[in-house]
Structure 1
Amino acid sequence: MKPLLKALALVAVLAVSACGSGGEEAAAPGTPAKLRIGYQLIPNGDLIVKDQRWLEQALPGTEIVWSKFDSGGDVNTAMISGAIDIGLAGSSPVTRGLSAPLNIPYQIPWIFDVIGDNEALVVRKEITEAKALAGKTIATPFSSTSHYSLLAVLAEAGLAESDVKIVDLEPPDIQAAWQRGDIDGAYVWTPILAELEKDGAVLVTSRELAGRGKLTADLAVVRTEFARQYPEALKVWLRQQDRAVKLARTDNAAAAAAIGRQLNLSPAEAGRQLGQLVLLDAAEQRGPDYLGTPEAPGKFAENLHSAAEFLKSQQKVDAVPELSVFQKGLATRELADAFAGS
C-alpha cells in the first residue's frame, strides 16, 4: 500500500485544482464547466489528444484540467475522492476498482491500448530465467498491470510471492533504485522501461504473457455520475480518442512527434514506443473481443473477471465479483451513442 499521507496529499492538490470558474465561454448543454482528466505518461492516443489540444478545441466552453498520475492505484484514489472525472488506469487496478472492497462507481468507455512490449520484466543480465528470481529484489508499482504481470510470472515459475522481495516503487523511483543498484529487476512500462533496458535484460514482456492468457490493457475510466450528467462531453471525449488512433495509423510521424513532445523524447524513440502498443479504433472496440455492444457485452469483461480470480488467489481482492459486474462496468451504451451512424 502507498503511504496514506501521499494519497491524502494527492487528493488535496486535485481538490484545490478542481475549484474555480470554468472557461470564458459558457459550456454547451450536456457539457460541464470543467472536465478533470487524470493521465499517465504512456505513449498512446491520450497523449496525442492532450498535445493537440483537441478537447480544448471541441469543448470551447469547458475548462480542461489535465493532472498527471504515476500509476492506476493513484487514479483509483482520485476517483474515490471525486477529484477527477476521467482517468487512465491499467486493467489490474480497474479490476480492483470494480471489486470489493473498493467498488468504485465508474465504468470503462474506452481501451487506450492493449499492452504489448512496452511493459516488461527487466533484470540484471546475470539472471536468465524466472526461477532465478528467488531471493532477488524486484520493484513494481503495486496494484498496477505490471504488478499483476509480475505475480503471473512468479506463478508460472512455481515461485511464491514470499520467495521474492517485491518492493512498491513508482516508475521514476524504480529508475533511481536501478541506477543505485538497490534492486535486481523491475516490472515496469515505458518510458522508464527503455532506460532500464540500456544495461539490463528483458526476461518477459506483457505481449508474451498475453499470448499465455494474461492479457493486460490501459483503460479509460469515467465516473458513472459524470457520464450520466454530461453525456455530450463524454461523446466528444470518445471521438477525440478515436481520432488519435486514426492519426497514429495514417500519419505515424505526426503521432510520434506529438507523443515525443509530451514525453520529452525524440520522434524516433516516441514512435518506437508507440509501436510497442496495440491501439484499437472505435469500430474494433465495439467488436466481440473487446467492449462489445449494449446488446452483447464483449469478451473483455471475461478478461477482467479472470484477472479478479487471479488477484483473489493472490489475496489482492476480497472476493471475485460475478461476471455481470464487469459486463455492467463496460460503458457500451455510451460508446455506441458516440459513434452512432459511423
Structure 2
Amino acid sequence: MPRLPQGPSRRLLLAGALAAVSTAVTGCSSDSDASTSGGSKRLRIGYFAFPSGDLIVKRRRLLEKALPEYEITWIKFDSGASVNQAFLGKSLDIAALGSSPFARGVSGSSPIPYKVAWILDVAGENEALVARKATGVTDVAGLKGKKIATPFASTSHYSLLAALETAGLKPSDVQLIDLQPQPILAAWQRGDIDAAYVWLPTLDELRATGTQLTSSKDIGAAGKPTLDLAVVSDDLIARDPAAIDAWRTAEAEALRLLKSDPDGSVGAVAAELGISVADARAQLAQGMFLTPEQVVSGDWLGTEGSPGKLLTYVTDTGRFLADQKQIDAAPPEDVVREAFYLKGLSDVLR
C-alpha cells in the first residue's frame, strides 16, 4: 500500500475512510479484473452529491447510452479523502476529486495510481467559510481562538488554511475540527462549533444562520484556486482508454447542456439531489463551469504535450500544503505532470 501523507489527512484516512469506503463500495470487487462481470465490461464511478455536470451525466444516463455493453456503477462519496482511499483499494475506475486531495494523492514516494483527465468545475461561491451569527465574528481575523470545522484533506480544508494565512492567523491560532458536511450541520445546530468551511448543499443551510466571511471564489481570485477534477485509474488507462474517451465526451456534453439547456440541466440536478428546482438553480449559479473548449485550453487542463495552467495550480497547492505541514513534502512539477492523462483529450471537441 502506498505511504499515506502525515498530519490530519493521515488520521482521517486511517481512522475513518476505510469504514466509509467499505460501505460505499459494497459489492464492488477490488481487483483490476473487476472490469468484467458476466462477460460485460464494467466501470465504477465515484461522484459527489454536488451540483455539477457529473450529475447531468448520471441523471441523463449519457455514459450508459454511449457504452451500452458496460455495467456502470455510480458510487457516492462525501469527501476526497474517501475517494483517495478507494483508489488505493482499487475500488474505483473514475471519480470526482478536488484539486487539494489530488495534490495530496500524488505526493510522497508512492503516489496513488491515478491521473487527472478532466475538469468538472472551478470552485466559486459554492464553497465558503461561514461563522455562526451568534459568535459576532464578521471577518476571518475574528476567528482567532474559535472552533472551525471542515472536512480534512478537502478543497475546503485547503481554502480555509489559505484564508487563515491571508488574515495573519496560523492553524494553531484556531481549533480545527475534522467533520464531514452532515456532521458539520449537526454540530452547527448544537452550537458546538463557531464556524465552518464547507460546500453545497450544507453550505446553504449554514448561511441561513451564519455570516459568510470569504469564499473559494475570493481565495481563487487571490491566487489559490481550487477545482473539482475527475481522475481515472492507471489500470483503466492501460486497460480501456476508449472508455475514458467516451466518458470525457459525455462530460463535455454535460458542460454544453449547462449552457444550451439550463432548464433541463437544473431539472436533472434537482432530481439527483432531491431538492426543488429553485434551489438547484441557485446552487448551480454559485459554481464556475468551463466550456469543453476552456477545459482543453492552455488556461486550464491543456492537451497532450502541452499541459495547461492546472499543472501550476496543483504544484502550487502541493507546496502550500507542505508549508502548512499537511503533507511531508510537495510533489515537484515533473511528478505532477506525470499524473496528467491528456492523451485524446482534444478529441472531445470534434
- Secondary structure at the aligned position of 1:153 is classed as helix
**C-alpha contact 2:24 2:76 (8 A) present in aligned 1:** no
The structure 1 residue matched to 2:170, chosen from 160, 165, 183, is 160
Deviations 1:84-138 (A, max 9, x none): 1111111000000011155111111100000000000010221011111011000
**C-alpha contact 1:113 1:219 (8 A) present in aligned 2:** yes
Matched pairs, number: 334
Q: CA RMSD in A?
A: 1.7
The structure 2 residue matched to 1:250, chosen from 257, 260, 268, is 260
Within a 5 Å distance, the mapping from 1:225-264 to structure 2 comes to 225-264=235-274
Q: State whether structure 2 residue 50 is matched by structure 1 residue 42.
A: yes
How many Å separate the matches in 2 of 1:87 and 1:153?
Answer: 27
Q: State whether structure 2 residue 109 is matched by structure 1 residue 93.
A: no
Deviations 1:39-92 (A, max 9, x none): 111100001111111112211111111111000010000011100111111100
Q: Give the equivalent residue in structure 2 for 1:172.
A: 182
Unaligned runs of 5+ in 2: 1-10
- Secondary structure at the aligned position of 1:17 is classed as coil
What amino acid sits opposite 2:201 in the alignment?
P
**C-alpha contact 2:24 2:77 (8 A) present in aligned 1:** no
Deviations 1:16-56 (A, max 9, x none): 422489678x64xxxxx110011111100001111111112
How many Å separate the matches in 2 of 1:194 and 1:230?
Answer: 39
How many Å separate the matches in 1 of 2:91 and 2:182?
Answer: 23
Deviations 1:208-258 (A, max 9, x none): 111100100001011012112111111110011011111110111100110
How many Å separate the matches in 1 of 2:35 and 2:99?
Answer: 34
How many Å separate the matches in 1 of 2:281 and 2:204?
Answer: 13
Q: Give the equivalent residue in structure 2 for 1:339.
A: 348
How many Å separate the matches in 1 of 2:261 and 2:170?
Answer: 46
The structure 1 residue matched to 2:314, chosen from 300, 304, 308, is 304
How many Å separate the matches in 2 of 1:183 and 1:102?
Answer: 36
**C-alpha contact 1:130 1:203 (8 A) present in aligned 2:** yes
- Secondary structure at the aligned position of 1:2 is classed as helix
Q: Give the equivalent residue in structure 2 for 1:80.
A: 88
Q: CA deviation at 1:5?
A: 5.3
**C-alpha contact 1:72 1:144 (8 A) present in aligned 2:** yes
Q: Give the equivalent residue in structure 2 for 1:127.
A: 137
**C-alpha contact 1:78 1:84 (8 A) present in aligned 2:** yes
Deviations 1:171-230 (A, max 9, x none): 011111111111101000000000000110100010011110010000101101211211
Relative to 1, partners in 2 of residues 1:297 and 1:247: Cα closer, same or farther, differing over 3 Å? same
Q: Give the equivalent residue in structure 2 for 1:109.
A: 117
Unaligned runs of 5+ in 1: 28-32
TM-score (norm 2): 0.91
The structure 1 residue matched to 2:323, chosen from 313, 330, 338, is 313
How many Å separate the matches in 1 of 2:219 and 2:81?
Answer: 22
Q: State whether structure 2 residue 203 is matched by structure 1 residue 184.
A: no
- Secondary structure at the aligned position of 1:333 is classed as coil
What amino acid sits opposite 1:163 in the alignment?
D
What amino acid sits opposite 2:348 in the alignment?
F
**C-alpha contact 1:23 1:61 (8 A) present in aligned 2:** no
- Secondary structure at the aligned position of 2:312 is classed as helix
Q: CA deviation at 1:9?
A: 2.5
> Which range moves more in the overlay, 175-184 or 100-109?
100-109
**C-alpha contact 2:13 2:81 (8 A) present in aligned 1:** no
**C-alpha contact 1:101 1:318 (8 A) present in aligned 2:** no
Deviations 1:283-339 (A, max 9, x none): 211111111111211111001111111000011111122211222222111413x42
Identity over aligned pairs, percent: 44
Q: Give the equivalent residue in structure 2 for 1:30.
A: none
How many Å separate the matches in 1 of 2:98 and 2:60?
Answer: 24
**C-alpha contact 1:140 1:147 (8 A) present in aligned 2:** yes
What amino acid sits opposite 2:64 in the alignment?
E
Q: Which runs of 4+ in 1 moved over 2 A?
A: 1-16, 19-24
Relative to 1, partners in 2 of residues 1:137 and 1:14: Cα closer, same or farther, differing over 3 Å? closer
How many Å separate the matches in 2 of 1:13 and 1:185?
Answer: 29
What amino acid sits opposite 1:44 in the alignment?
S
Q: CA deviation at 1:144?
A: 0.2
What amino acid sits opposite 2:270 in the alignment?
G
